[in-house]
Amino acid sequence: MKNVPNRVILPESELPRQWYNVQADMPERHDPYINPGTGKPATSEDFYPIFAEELARQEFSTERFIDIPDEVRELYKTYRPSPLHRAYRLEKALDTPARIYYKYEGGNTSGSHKLNSALPQVYYNKRQGITRLTTETGAGQWGTALAMAARFFGLDLTVFMVKISSMQKPYRKAIMETFGADVAASPSDRTASGRKILEQDPECLGSLGVAISEAVEMAVTTPGSRYVLGSVLNQVLLHQSVIGLEAKLQLEMVDEYPDLVIGCSGGGSNMGGLMAPFMRDRLTGARKPYFIAVEPAACPSFTRGKYAYDFCDTAKVTPLARMYTLGSGFMPSSIHAGGLRYHGMSPILSKLYHDGFLDEARAEKQNDVFAAAKLFAGEEGILPAPESSHAIKAAIDEALRCKQSGEARTILFGLSGHGHFDMGAYISYNEGSITDYIPTDEELQKGFDTLPKVE
């Protein structure tokens, strides 16, 4: 075993030139998207009114490797390759024989992995002559990343920010505006879908689903405009594969291969990206790493959801996808891991989970997650995002398991972002006022009742 540095640094020249598309190696593809208008399987053309054509094509592609455009790779170089850390101090604090590695994606101004997909999405839209983009943001990371990318490529951007998040995180809004974005708290009076929800409930604190509906509506009703989505879709998992491709090279540099790959999962993009090349090894039979996706107990799509066709938004304009879902009408409680408050889950991850390749999903409670975050911050010196802290919690549990069994397993987890804009959440945790909200079966049933009937 080589002497492993605290941070394994990949030279800029080694930044991947191609993304890896896990769809190329899946024995079965995910169930087809369905056009809600016709009830028939959707084609890439059905996506053209909503997404840039190249992105719509990527959504359906089974090409194994797809070139990263030079313009995008140059911008990646401003903050990538991201470091792979060896968690020496955490290992010592846990007194575990496990070797813990984490891939840190918080080292850019947007503070998360979201920039990896924001840059190519804006690039492909610009190349097609689109001048204006719309999107939603929950916790604010996606909106911030997109505001940066839109600024770099010179496009206008309107961000519908979930109202509860805009109240909890005013500084996120300020960053987006600094990069030139127009930010509206959702539900807003800018769209018919927003106005309808406000009529029913003027105090509505919003959800990602509602914000998506507003953004899609504005994109399809404004000429020269397109909608972009920061998670869930196959194209986003494709772009995020850069995380896993780098991590695999970095582990090779220190003669390591992960026994366990752990990620938090909201819509599935950072988990999908981190695990991509390792999943390839699993699908081709080359290696057998074990995969764990971690979600909040308050929004348990994998662990308590149904594997069913559902809308990706509450306005029911996007194609239907078969995924693990709580129903697009599910309104999760206002937990602090805003990026994990989505009702559904990536169709690719859903299929891999259903078929047993993604081995395990866990739901964790807020207080346990923040306890893990605090331990991690104190040992590693990085203040993690509440979302990422779900992965930390599982990594710590697995390391403690190794302590009991004496196994020196190699654990890789995704540290998807920093928590510098989540200090309100940390204040609540430090005061002891964070609640562990777990929906009842009856509450989940209300969400399932909103699932569309698909033959």
Ligand X SMILES: *Cc1c(COP(=O)(O)O)cnc(C)c1O
- Applying CB under 6 A, among 21, 58, 96, 112 the residue interacting with ligand X is 112
Paired tokens of 414: 């995704």
141 binds ligand X (CB under 6 A): yes
Interatomic CA distance for residues 348 and 20, integer angstroms: 14
Residue at shortest CB range from ligand X:
417
Owner of token pair 């964070």: 434
Binding mask 260-299 for ligand X (x = CB under 6 A): ----xxxxxxxx----------------------------
Give the closest residue to 413 by CA, choosing from 11, 86, 77, 7.
86
Taking the least distance from each CB to ligand X, the nearer of 282 and 390 is 390
Question: Residue 270: which of 184, 364, 384, 135 has the closest Cα?
Answer: 384
C-beta of 47 vs 142, nearer to ligand X: 142
Q: Which stretch binds ligand X (CB under 6 A): 58-66, 134-142, 366-374, 444-452?
A: 134-142
Question: Is residue 334 within the footprint of ligand X (CB under 6 A)?
Answer: no
Provide the greatest CA pair distance for the chain. Answer: 64
108 binds ligand X (CB under 6 A): no
Give how far Cα 281 sits from Cα of 136, 196, 244, Å. 34, 48, 12
For ligand X, the binding residue among 30, 57, 73, 114 (CB under 6 A) is: 114
62-101 mask for ligand X (x: CB under 6 A)? ----------------------------------------
Please, what is the minimum distance in Å from the beta carbon of residue 6 to ligand X? 22
Return the ∠ at Cα 304 (arms to 355 and 38), rounded to 5°: 70
Write down the least CB distance from residue 87 to ligand X, Å: 18
Q: Does 148 sit near ligand X (CB under 6 A)?
A: no
Work out which of 90, 261, 385, 434 binds ligand X, going by CB under 6 A: 385
For residue 135, the minimal CB distance to ligand X (Å) is: 12
Give SS3 for 445.
Answer: helix
Count, residues near ligand X per rule CB under 6 A: 21
DSSP 242-298: HHHHHHHHHHHHTT---SEEEEE-SSSHHHHHHHHHHHHHHHHTS---EEEEEEETT
Q: Smallest distance from the beta carbon of 195 to ligand X, in angstroms?
A: 27
Q: 3-state DSSP: the chain helix, strand, coil percent, rounded to 5?
A: 45, 15, 40
Asked whether the beta carbons of 125 and 131 are under 8 A apart, the reply is no
How many C-beta neighbours within 10 Å does residue 305 have?
A: 25
The site map against ligand X for 217-256 (x = CB under 6 A) is --------------x-------------------------
Among 194, 244, 347, 417, binds ligand X (CB under 6 A): 417
Q: Which is nearer to ligand X, 142 or 353 (CB)?
A: 142
CB 417 within 8 A of CB 385: yes
**Residue from the set 183, 416, 429, 451 that interacts with ligand X by CB under 6 A:** 416
Q: Write down the least CB distance from residue 335 to ligand X, Å.
A: 13
**Distances from the Cα of 310 to the Cα of 285, 303, 339, 349, angstroms:** 32, 17, 19, 15
The residue ranges that bind ligand X (CB under 6 A) are 112, 114, 139, 141-142, 231, 264-271, 339-340, 385, 387-388, 416-417
